[in-house]
Amino acid sequence: MTFPGLMMQQPLTLRLCLERAETLFPDRGATTKTPGGMVRTTYGQIGERCRRLANALTTLGIEPGDRVGSFAWNSTRHLELYLGVPCMGAVLHTLNIRLHPEQVAWIANHAEDKIVFVDESLLPVFAQVAPHLTTVKHIVVMADGPLPPAAPDGALSYEDLLAAASPSYAWPDLDENAACAMAYTSGTTGNPKGVVYSHRAMTLHAFMSCMVDSNGIGEADVCLPIVPMFHANAWGIPWAAALAGANIVFPAQYMTPPDILSLIESERVTFTAGVPTIWIGALPEVQKGTCDLSSLQRVVIGGAAVPLSLIKAYDDLGIRILQGWGMTETGPLASLSRPLSTMDATMSREELQTVRAKQGLPVAGVELRIMGEDGVAPWDGKTFGEVQVRGNWVARTYYNDERSPESWTEDGWLRTGDVAIVDATGFVQLVDRTKDLVKSGGEWISSVDLENAIMGHPKVAEAAVIAIPDEKWSERPMACVVPKPGETLTSDELIAHLSGILPKWWLPETIAFIDEVPKTSVGKFDKKVLRARYADGTLAP
């Protein structure tokens, strides 16, 4: 039975985030670290600047559905793009500043960007991109003062555009299923793949992120997104913070561990999120005890598996890490490792740490299953298979890409390429990426579990495990290990450590001690570089 008109139907668009922040929390807002110091902007001011931005874009010929590119750090101006561009009906397309210039240009051309907003400090990098752009009509430089000398010919000034535009703008009533944002995968194999997000998807994702059993972002929070705004929508934190009325802090280009820790201390940050490498690098600084991090309540880490040793190390310092999991295709947050209340009441500290080292429960709004060789696998904590998800903010296809059928089932489940087990309580634990599993003598070895065990050694800073060819066993694991600064570590020491933790046949015969594990553009371990370097299984560089 249906009751037409029983409930008020309000479209779920990002306008809800912008208008709620401006109306209810006009004195809160965003802070950005700049060369001249901290710049503070209220949501009241941001709302007006977003209306000026919408008028400026309209004057430049931007229409609903047009793609508007950004080539920028995490900053308040970037937040204005996050809010103003979608609310006028255009599509914000965040370009990854760390990809090769030709790949950035390919992405912008494939998306058919009409305009690109560029941070002043990134102009030297963008200069290598600009000559290859075929659809971009305008380049807008985000800087203080006059256009810098490095600006491309014909470039426009962001601040001049806003100053000349009217502060009055009537936001259109948009279809909640219209596109609001666009991002491309990192492109570790082949060309990157574009994912288009709807207003409905990102608004629901923002609501989910504010749930107490998710990121729990509320009006009392001070959020520091370390995850880049050019990567997977900064995990939706900018929109969730605006929706909640939380203050938000942006590090811009100041991304070193001392910079991040200083911001947490000075701005009294309560919530932050980023990839594991950030917090691995920050650990020695935190252990010095020179920064006051007492305000920090929650650290969400995603993008790669979090070593149990890292969770334990930060627990010892009074800082709680929660592990999240997701992909560009999943909006991105799909699961979070927040222990259940029954676990808090019955488990030991060490057991709870093990729970938080998993990828956690699927968040509300996402369905998850494990697909094994014989179909859907049981949630028994031991049967593994590929993770497949679907939900309110999980994509159904790639943008204009013939590879889409490879990644989705006919009934809409996303094939993630991650291999996992799920226990009886619904907690997901990744075993590996399908391409990273080591098959030795017909048996699987999890590179993730092996890496975590290696990083549990007190002398190890980072470790990545790859498969190398072996005449007898087909493949064997090879460990690429970065010792902590000032430490000397031998293969025998490491094997002795692993022998008490892992099965003997898992232990790597080949260990390379290296200065640094190569990273992708978003800070993940880049194993394809290591595979190329050690393709024949030898230690020669």
Quick one: pLDDT at residue 153? 92
Arithmetic mean of pLDDT, 370-379: 92
The reported pTM is 0.86
For the cut 90, the answer to whether the pLDDT of residue 286 exceeds it is yes
* Residues above pLDDT 70, as percent of the chain: 96
Report residue 219's pLDDT band, with 50, 70 and 90 as the boundaries: very high
Average pLDDT, the chain: 92
Q: How many C-beta atoms surround the C-beta of residue 163 within 10 A? A: 10
- Asked if residue 68 lies in contact with residue 114, where contact means CB atoms within 8 angstroms, the answer is yes
The percent of residues in the chain predicted with pLDDT above 90, rounded, is 76
The yes-or-no answer on residue 329 being catalytic is yes
Confidence of residue 15 (pLDDT cuts 50, 70, 90): very high
Confidence of residue 2 (pLDDT cuts 50, 70, 90): low
Q: What is the pLDDT of residue 438?
A: 82
185 catalytically annotated: yes
Using the predicted structure, report yes or no on whether residue 3 has a pLDDT greater than 80: no
pLDDT tens digits, 97-138: 988 899 999 999 999 999 999 999 999 999 999 999 999 999
Residue 532: the pLDDT is: 84
Q: pLDDT band at residue 439, thresholds of 50, 70 and 90?
A: confident
> Using H for helix, E for strand and C for coil, what is the string for 430-496?
EEEECCCCEEECCEEECHHHHHHHHCCCCCEEEEEEEEEEECCCEEEEEEEEEECCCCCCCHHHHHH
Task: Determine which one of 444, 493, 505, 538 is catalytic.
Answer: 444
Q: Which residue has the tokens 């492109």?
A: 187
Residue 280 clears pLDDT 90, i.e. is over it? no
Which of 13, 31, 94, 185 is an active site residue?
185
383 noted as active-site residue: no
Examine the residue annotation and report whether 279 is marked as an active-site residue of this protein.
Answer: no
Phi-psi group of 207: left, alpha or beta (phi > 0 → left; psi -120 to 50 → alpha; rest → beta): alpha
Residue 180 has pLDDT above 60, yes or no: yes
Residue 21 has pLDDT above 90, yes or no: yes
- Report pLDDT for 128: 95
pLDDT over 60 (residue 188)? no
Catalytic annotation, pick one of 19, 176, 267, 329: 329
Which residue among the candidates 59, 63, 346, 439 is catalytic per the annotation? Answer: 439
Domains delineated in the chain: 15-249 (3.40.50.12780), 438-533 (3.30.300.30)
**397 vs 110, 413, 419, CA distance in Å?**
15, 10, 21
